Structure 1
Amino acid sequence: MSTTCPKPSRVFVLLLLLAGGRLLAQEDALFQTLEQTWRDASAAVTTRVPSAEELARVEALFVRTLSGERDSGLVVAWRQFGFRFYAVGEGEIWALRDIRNFGRGFYLFRPPGALPVLLQAPHAFHDLDTGEIAMRWFVEGPWLAGAWNTAHRYEVLPDLRPVDWVDRRDQYGQALTAAALSVMSRGVIVQLHGFEQMNRVTPAGRDAAVILSNGRETPSPAVWSLDACFEGFQLGQVRVFGEDVMELGGTRNQQALAVHADGGRLWFLHLEMDRPLRRNLVRDRSLRDDLAGCLLDRRLCGYPPRSR
């Protein structure tokens, strides 16, 4: 008996293509809705500094949210802080929207069964395209949670320091990171950044398309594995901070410091991308899929580290 697989009929192939087209259309519609909501939350922002007590209570709410709670009690609790917490689309994704436009961020969540990745775009209005890339990645893949800034990183607060929640500990983004460290037993916090090659201060920086870092001077095995995966695609020069290049390593990043202080259950990735790569990621779904595969499957794909 022949073991050759039968060729699919033209009707079957057409049905597959139509189903795929509907899925892509649904993803694009969801992306458009979520991106507009995020931008609405970023308009006419009046930024304020939360108190330590408020941040502690918010961290507790983030713990409940990441743990999968979706009942009316949590909806009411978030509303007391001026947030709308609600289901989007078919209900797998829930959004957390600052309805007071206080510059406290925009957040998305999936149930705990999603892959343990917290995706962050903290400089979306300065590191151009990073907000859109993060939003498309979140819609297209099974990420657990995502966070976007809604106040510009250089807005100065009454204490004369910028609002940037990468540099401050008194921001909602840091409360989410602390909650993730409490809830997640494994996984990675991926932070997206962008740079211009002409603004770099070293030849290695000016030549780089990607700079990978775990927020420390010494690269971790995870960073080397990711470097090997990224080098499988034509991105340009992929550099590892601490070995290939000594700038844009995120060593004073508050999220990185919190992850390192926690003892190693999670790891932190500071992903710097030049502008051409960011533009390509915005328009090229296949490239987004390729790099998302590297980020999501690092522990499974077994890419050998490059020789050093």
Structure 2
Amino acid sequence: MKSAGYVVLFTIAGCSQGVCRSVGSALSPAPSPSASAVGTVEVPTVEVPTVVEVQVADGREREALDEQIAPLRKGGRHLIAEPPNDAEEAAYVTWITAAGVAAQNRQPPPAAPPGFALRAIPGRELWVLSEDDSRRRGAAAVVLRIGAAAPLIVEAPHTFFDQGTLPIALAIFEAQRARALIVNTSHRYGGGPKPRNAVGDDEGEGTGGASADDTAAETQATGDGARAAGSGRAGSGGAAGVGGSDGVLGAGGGARGDILAARERLAAALAFADVAHAERSFFLSAHRALLQSFPGMPAVQLHGFQDSSAPASAIASAVGHGANLERLLAPLRAVVSDGKVLAYSADINKLGGVTNVQARWSRQMGAPFYHLELSRALRDKLVTDEDLRRRFAAAFAGLVAGKGQEETRPGLPP
């Protein structure tokens, strides 16, 4: 139950009914376009709690979060993420950084920059930071836990493409009472299959067909998700039309040039769509901002691969100051008893996330980063088997307890 003081704080910050939008007087002006793209802000020195009261996850928080995130992902299967410009990135980073500190210290939430909103989940000490309804650009969703929390950031950058990673990420976030969660809200390839020239070393799982959690996201709020998705398929639909009619339209003189131009535009757009590899995205900005709020905080990022891509159920890798892969490998191997959990690059030389941009920034900012690839078979089991999912989510406790431990196994290159 919220206290009267808590409600007053929301009112002061320019929030109503649990939603905080842009209010000019709540924060200092956003940095000018000439400001650094990263957007550095003054962060007060605060002690990050390393011990959090252990609670049994009952799934209710996960359900509440899923209900809030679903509308933000609606239509995202056919949406290509748009990157921020310099001014937008600076303002966004400032907002996320300030919100992280405010959440930890139970302070009023900061005002959102134009196009974004902060929502408080009723009955939960959680904030959801995302783009508002004025413009959809695949800007990701950030969840912050208010008050005491475990020093852990959970990330799921390919929830449409790597099916099942969203419910698994939500389970880990709840079980560990993690500080933050970052989820993508647009498809890795705009709803299409993996392009031949796609960046990244992973195999990927998605083939364009919607999974159960994707379908729920499409239909959650209004029930007309299919129509919304169909009307928003500008990027991937154009690609399909181009590829399927090249030979016919090529004889029409200028039509072939139009096709090639359309392909070039799509390729340029897709360069920013894969938020785990794009050099600029709101997802990456959120990752960097949270590391400004919580220096040295571990992050774990979930991915998926086809069963035929590797003889394993899971492949884990780690990088950055304080990373200790053994703290993750041993618990996972105890849970995934009917499959192999391999370490990159000691056990296998693929699916190690070597081109992952969040991994690179974690390393540069002195924080541990864990990259975890899950087979399709294991993801399916984790989605349907509640007991297995509970034990799997509990296996990440070592990352929290091991904060500050030195890296003991080779991981990702810079």
Distance in 2, Cα, partners of 1:280 & 1:171: 31
Q: Distance in 2 between matches of 1:267 and 1:161?
A: 26
Give the match for residue 165 of structure 1: 275
Match in the other structure for 1:127: 162
Distance in 1, matches of 2:276 and 2:59, equals 34
Question: What is the count of residue pairs matched by the alignment?
Answer: 272
**Contact 1:30 1:139 (8 Å CA) reproduced:** no
> Which structure 1 residue ranges, 4+ long, deviate > 6 Å from structure 2?
70-73
CA shift for structure 1 position 221: 6.2
In 1, the alpha carbon distance for the partners of 2:356 and 2:127 equals 27
Q: Secondary structure at the match of 2:110?
A: helix
Q: Which runs of 5+ in 1 are unaligned?
A: 1-19
Structure 2 letter corresponding to 1:37: P
Partner residue, 1:188: 298
Pick aligned residue for 2:327 from 225, 233, 246: 225
TM-score, normalised to structure 1, is 0.78
Distance change (3 Å), C-alpha of 1:293 and 1:73: closer
The AA in structure 2 aligned to 1:150 is: T
Write the letter of the residue equivalent to 2:140. Answer: G
Structure 2 equivalent of residue 274 of structure 1: 375
* Cα distance in 2, alignment partners of residues 36 and 240 from structure 1: 33
- Report the CA distance between 1:192 and its aligned residue: 0.4
Confirm or deny that 1:95 pairs with 2:205. Answer: no
- The CA deviation at 1:181 is 1.9
Q: Which residue of 2 aligns with 1:243?
A: 346
| Counterpart residue type for residue 334 of structure 2 | G
Backbone CA RMSD of aligned residues: 3.1
Is it true that 1:209 corresponds to 2:318 in the alignment?
no
Per mean C-alpha deviation after superposition, the further-off stretch among 50-59 and 285-294 is 285-294
CA distance in 2: counterparts of 1:143 and 1:240, whole angstroms: 24
Once the two structures are TM-superposed, the CA of residue 32 in structure 1 deviates from its matched residue by 4.3
1:56 and 2:166 correspond:
no
Cα 1:175–1:25, aligned 2, differ >3 Å: closer, same or farther? closer
Matches within 5 A, 1:13-32: 24=58, 26-27=60-61, 29-32=63-66
Q: Can you give the 5+ residue segments of structure 2 that lack an aligned partner in the other structure?
A: 1-54, 191-265, 403-407, 409-414
Query: For 1:17-67, what per-residue CA distance to the aligned partner results, in whole angstroms no more than 9, with x for missing partners?
Result: xxx99x847446414413423333737646433112211221111101111
In structure 2, how many angstroms separate the alpha carbons of the residues matched to 1:196 and 1:46? 23
Aligned to 2:359, which of 232, 242, 256? 256
Aligned match for 1:115, one of 145, 150, 154: 150
The 1:294–1:137 alpha-carbon spacing in structure 2 relative to 1, beyond 3 Å, is closer
Q: Against the structure 1 CA distance between its residues 291 and 92, is the aligned structure 2 distance closer, same or farther, given a 3 Å change threshold?
A: same
Q: What is the one-letter code of the residue matched to 2:364?
A: A
Select the structure with the greater relative contact order (CA < 8 A; seq sep ≥ 6).
2
Classify the secondary structure of the residue corresponding to 2:324. helix
- Identity score, percent: 26
2:249 counterpart residue number? none
Read off the aligned partner of 1:51 and give its amino acid letter: N
Shift of 1:159: 5.3
The structural deviation recorded for 1:144 is 0.8
1:276 maps to a residue whose letter is: A
Partner of 1:4: none
Secondary structure of the 2:304 match is strand
Alpha-carbon offset, residue 117 of structure 1: 1.0
Report the structure, 1 or 2, having the larger strand content.
Answer: 1
Classify the secondary structure of the residue corresponding to 1:214: strand
One-letter amino acid matched to 2:330: A
3-state SS, counterpart of residue 245 of structure 1: coil
